[in-house]
Every structure is written in structure tokens, then in C-alpha cells.
Structure 1
């Protein structure tokens, strides 16, 4: 090895090249050779390991090995041998330059720490993906445990790298860090909070640029346009800008509308209040009159036959409408609204469609429409919502119902 690393140097000296120049040229040539060898070895080992893992994954019935490949575990492990080879080459390449040798050796050692963290992260992500496939662990917060472990792993890696660069023993470095940690936390409190929050926001995918968020505490309701270490900027719909501390995203409650925008529809959830004293049983004459409403013809014919059959079988005394089974105006109205919503062209038929009664209140009986519009754009959504309730409100009197509203001065004057 000594003859190899000095062969070019001796050749240059024999041909009259200055000693310093010969040393630099010798180092450069050895560095080029070492880099080529390391990259070739890395390429060959990576290909071999990937082929081995791929064949093993295809032959195995478990999906764990497939997840190892997906999370790049073989690719990261393949870098270990080239890294060790590079460490062996450093004394050879920098034979005449001790200062360079120390700097490069520390650089490779720091890269070794980073590579170790990559391997650990890949293995943890593989374990997380595999454990999520198990029914007994599917609903457990496995990702949270792995995130906490990775935070400590990165902190340990960063401190180890700093200890290597500064030349301070790791334990001594930790002791000194503990002594000044109180001062560091006090001076850089906001920065530390923002840093931790940004990691949490990124890892948990809580907010992305372009998301529509509502943050009532800060008066924010609009699109996220910028996320930094300390702040998140939200452009409200009136074009004003609201700046929110990043750590508030993990310490306060806010609403992210991404789930709605990525879904197949935007929810409609609104009700009208019906006066309870306008709710009543329907007379046969009223039922016949309501059959003129096309959306109710089939329903009323079928229901009327079923009700008459039931009442006849049980000899129900129909001198009072409360006896036996009867149609009510509120029930027929709910069926009409349900049918109308189901046939509306702007409603997503593959999502929940429901017209329901809510708990009666002092302001009447709420009838709520619960459905999803196919068009999620704000302007179009509001138009669809208004179009539906324009029709429903106008249809209420046809069922001899009344909408509750608080009395006004004109009510008293009448």
C-alpha cells in the first residue's frame, strides 16, 4: 500500500517536480481513484442488495419485505460498506496532509451518523406501515410513538455530529449543554417552539400551503400562503393577511377544510323551523289534492293503500283521525323534500342524502336537509344552497304548514 500511495509522488520527484507540487498532485490522483472505487463499489452493492431483496419479497408471502424495499432500507444499508471503504482510503489519500485528513475524516464520520439515522428512519417507517396492516393495531397511534423516537434520534445524531466536529467527547459535550440549556431555552423560546411546531405540522401533515383554514381565535378564514419556522400566513377571503404563530397550530384548535376539498362533495346542513301548531293529520280530501304534486303521486298512492288496509284489518274507528294509522302534513312534506333533493341535479347521489327532524325547540320543529353538493366551489355552492331552500320555503304552504319567525311590528299592527 505504501508503494502504491507514493508511486506517483516518487515518479514526479524523479522528473524534477517540486516536492509540494508533487504532494498535491499525488493527493489529487489518489482522491480521484478513491472516489471512483467507492462509487463503483456502492453501485454494485446497491444493485446486488436490491436484487436480493426483490427476489426475496416476491417469494415471501409476508408484505414486510415489500415494505422494506418501498421504504428504501436495502438502498440505505448498501451505503455502509462504501462508507467503511472511504474511511480506509482517507489515510492513504491524505498521507502528506494531516490537517486535510482530520477534516475529511470528521466529515465522513458525520455522514456515517446521518446514514445511521436514515437507516433507523427507514426501518421505523417500515415497522409503522406493517403494524398498520394488523387489525389489532390499526387504530393505535403508532405514528406518534415513532415520531417521538425519531425526534430523540435526530437530537442525539445532531449532538454527536457537533461533538465530532468540535472534538469534544460526547459525554463532556452533554454536560456542558445541560449547563447552558436554561439560558438557551429562555433566549430562543419562540424559535424553539416554532421549530418543534413546524416539525409536528410537517410530520402530521396538519397544514399545507394552499389549504383553506379557519382559525377563529386569530380571525383567520382563508388560504394558507406561507409557512415558516415562526409564523403561518393566511390570506383571508377579503384579501387581508392574518399572521399566526406556528406553535399555535399545535396548541390551539383550528379547522382545515382540506378534507372537504379533496372529497366528492361539499356538505349542505341547514334547517327550517316549522310552527308546531300547523302540524296536523291529513284528511282524504287533502291527500287527493296533494296527489297533484308529481313527486308525491306514487308515494301517496302506495302509502294510502297500506294505511287503509291496516286500518280495515284492525277495525279502526276513523271518526277520530288520531285512531289507527294516518298521514300527516309534516311527514308528507319531509318525503317531498327528500325526493326533491334526491332528484336535484347538483346533489352528489353517492353521498349521504337525508331530511330529518331535529329536537323541537321554542321556535318550532326544525326540519334539516343533510346532503352534499357536487360542486365544491364557494360561489356555486352558495347558489345551489339558495336554490334548494328557495324552493323548499316556497313549497311549505302547499302542505298547510307555516314557517316559524319572530313577530315584527307589522305582525302586531295586523
Structure 2
């Protein structure tokens, strides 16, 4: 204590000078205090500027020489800036007691403010390290599709809660343990306030552990109008960039509470499914005769099939003495069956169709719009624009091929169709 008074006399020489000049003791004391504080503030500003510049320049020089990117992210998250404030804060903490030795009430307030700022500075440094860790992990291949943001946000929230507890402890003079115990009584209110945060944190863990969604996945979530790529998964929301370049935010908890479609399986599979149907007009389906067969044999893709199939049918009908005066008797080929075989052969020859996956051409149950002829196959190229081009190319050809088999596509009549019909009726 004696050393404290000896050192504090260095800051009180102005006060002693004013007293020797006959100035009131209180006025001299406060003038001396005011001047010393101004000097201290100027000194802290200068030292803070020098230290911060030194630390920042040192970090920049160090990061330019190293190959790792972790230190680069430290600089971007202002870590050197926060570290540079430690020494000026220590200077204030150790100098203030000598300047305010005769002003205990003011000393208590200033020390309280310094301690609070030290706690906040500690939180900022921890937050900077966590953000650096998050940005660094995001560029690592094994963590690129993981919800790192969610976990970092939880840790940051926890650090802020601990920091606020220490601040209240400084203000109230109660220990942190007693303050934490008193918070237990208010746990219900805290749970209500942080309900979305807690649900989001639980959902983030389940999403990560169960591998439901990764960053980069293509998802379709009709409830929220989302159809695009997941760009971010954090504690409260999942951010989706739609194909029209708009963004949709989805509550993280909805990923486990509601149903959505994840296209990752398609992206990881060897091919992307093409599943579409054309509608054949039922009245255009018929048995083919020998003349029709001769014409259809000109189609190179099915000529071998027609020869083989017709010989098999003729042997069957001959061995069973089938009366072929009516085409319905015995076994016969239909234009729809031949067309179906042609489409199947065309898909097997198409270079963009994956031959090792399903290739199916089938009839579905007839409807009021005709007979659905469904094509189910897989495109080798899974990229959206190329997939759509391949699908269109296949169906362009299939639709154009329909008339060659004596078939017609169903199409709801338009106004022109109705006018042509009535015009033909009036002419007859």
C-alpha cells in the first residue's frame, strides 16, 4: 500500500502545485484528475494504435509466408485487431488505481467498466477464433457438406451466455455460480425464448447424424416453394438457392418435421430417370396385315424383329389350323405392339440412354385421353440442361414416328378443329 502511495505521487504533482498556489483542495484535486485522465486516454490511444498496427502487420507478414489458410482467416475475422487491444487494457487496469487513489467511488466505476470491457473483449476473441475455425473447415473436403454453421453458432451463443453471466457477476458482486443457480428458476422462460434455437440445434444434429441434407444437395420443398441447391445450413434456417437464382429460407426443424425431396440419390446414381408418357388414340389401334408388314419392314430398327415374330406367329396359326379369314382369329401383330417394340429398340440404340439401367416401354391403364404409352429409362448425363435436351430429343423422335405405324396421338380439340369439323359437315 505504501508503494501505491509513492507511485501515485507521480500523478499528483499538479495537484500539489495547485495547492501551493492557494487553490481550493477539491478544485485542485479534480483538475489534476481531469488532466491525468486526458493524458491517460491520449497515451492509451497512441499505444493502442501502435500495438494494433504492429500486431496486424506481424500477422499479415506471417500469413504471407505460410501455406496454410487458417492464419489468413484469422486476419479476416479481426483476430489481430482484438489481440492488439489487450496491452492497452492492461495499461489502463494497472494505471487507474494510481490516478484515482483519492477518488475511490470513481475508481470503482472505472474498474467495473474496464472489467466488463475485458470480458467482452474475451468473447470477441473467442468468437473470432470460432469464425476462423468455421471458415477453415468449410474449405476442407471432408467438412464442406456438413452443417458447421449450426455448431459454431451454438458455441458462440454459449460463450455469450457465459460472458453475460460474468458481466452480471461484476455488476452485482455475486459469484458466477450463484448467478447460474438463480438462472435455474428462470429456465422455463429461457426455454421459451430460445425455443427456435434449441429446436434448430437438435434438428442440425439429427440432419448431420442421419445425413438427411448436405450443403450442395438439390432439394425440393413444396411447402416453402424451395427447389434448388442447399447453400447454407445454420442453427435456425436452411438457405436454398432456387433454379431461378432466388433464395428460400427454410426452418431447420422443418427438415425433420416435414417431408421434402432430396435429389442426392439421383446425383450419385449412374443415371437420371426419364419417365414420361404419350397418349395413343384408341381408335387408331388395329391388327396389321401383310401389306402393312411389308411397309413396316422398311424400318431398319425393327425389320429383324418383324421377320422373326411373323414366322413364329405363322407357325403357331398353321399348327393350330386357325381360320385367318378374320384377323381376330389366332395370333396377330398390332400396330401398337410393333410401335412399342420400335420405341424399345430406339432407346437401346440411343447413345445418351444408360444401357445398364432400366429401359421399359409399357402400356398404362386406358383413360379418357387414350392409351398411355410410358417410357421409363435413364439418361447418362445428369446435368439439368443436358437431361432436358436428351428427354426432348427422345420424345421429338417418338412423337414424329407415331404416324408411320398408322397410330394417332390424342389431343383435345382446339377451336380450329371444331370449325373445320362444322365446315366439313356443311359441305356434305
Q: Same fold (TM over 0.5)?
A: yes
Report the secondary structure of 1:270's partner residue: strand
> Which of 256, 259, 265 is the matching residue for 1:253?
259
Is it true that 1:262 corresponds to 2:272 in the alignment? no
Of 374, 378, 384 in structure 1, the residue corresponding to residue 380 of structure 2 is 374
**Is residue 2:278 matched to residue 1:272?**
yes
* Alignment partner of 1:208 is 2:214: yes
- Measured after TM superposition, the shift of residue 176 of structure 1 is 8.5
Which of 202, 205, 222 is the equivalent residue of 1:199? 205
Q: Does residue 413 in structure 1 map to residue 419 in structure 2?
A: yes
Q: Select the residue among 320, 324, 331 that pairs with 1:325.
A: 331
1-structure distance, mates of 2:187, 2:372: 59
Which secondary structure does the structure 2 equivalent of 1:294 belong to?
Answer: coil
- In structure 1, C-alpha distance between the alignment counterparts of 2:413 and 2:248, rounded to whole Å: 40
Instruction: Give yes or no for the alignment of 1:187 onto 2:190.
Output: no
1:189-222 residue CA offsets vs partner (Å, 9 max, x unmatched) = 1111111111111111111111111111111111
The CA distance in 2 between the partners of 1:303 and 1:288, in whole Å, is 13
RMSD: 2.1
1:238 counterpart residue number: 244
Which residue does the alignment assign to 2:108?
Answer: none
Task: Tell me the equivalent position of 2:229.
Answer: 223
Q: Which runs of 5+ in 1 are unaligned?
A: 1-157
- Structure 2: give runs of 5+ residues left out of the alignment: 1-157, 163-174, 421-428
Distance across 2 between alignment mates of 1:260 and 1:363:
31
Map residues 4-403 of structure 1 onto 2, 5 A cutoff: 177=184, 180-403=186-409
Deviations 1:226-272 (CA, angstroms, capped at 9, x unpaired): 10000000011111111111001111111111111111001000010
Write the distance in 1 (CA, Å) between the matches of 2:176 and 2:302: 83
Give the distance between the partners of 1:375 and 1:187, measured in 2 at CA: 48
What's the offset of the Cα at 1:180?
4.3
Rg (Cα) greater in structure: 2
SS of the residue corresponding to residue 295 of structure 1 reads coil
In 2: Cα distance, 1:390 partner to 1:249 partner: 39
Q: How many positions carry a matched residue from both structures?
A: 247
TM-superposed deviation, 1:185: 2.3
Give the SS at the match of 1:264.
coil
The separation in 2 between residues aligned to 1:239 and 1:247, in whole angstroms, is 24
Work out the CA distance in 2 between the residues paired with 1:352 and 1:264. Answer: 11
Offset, 1:184: 2.8
Distance 2:199 2:281 in 1: 54
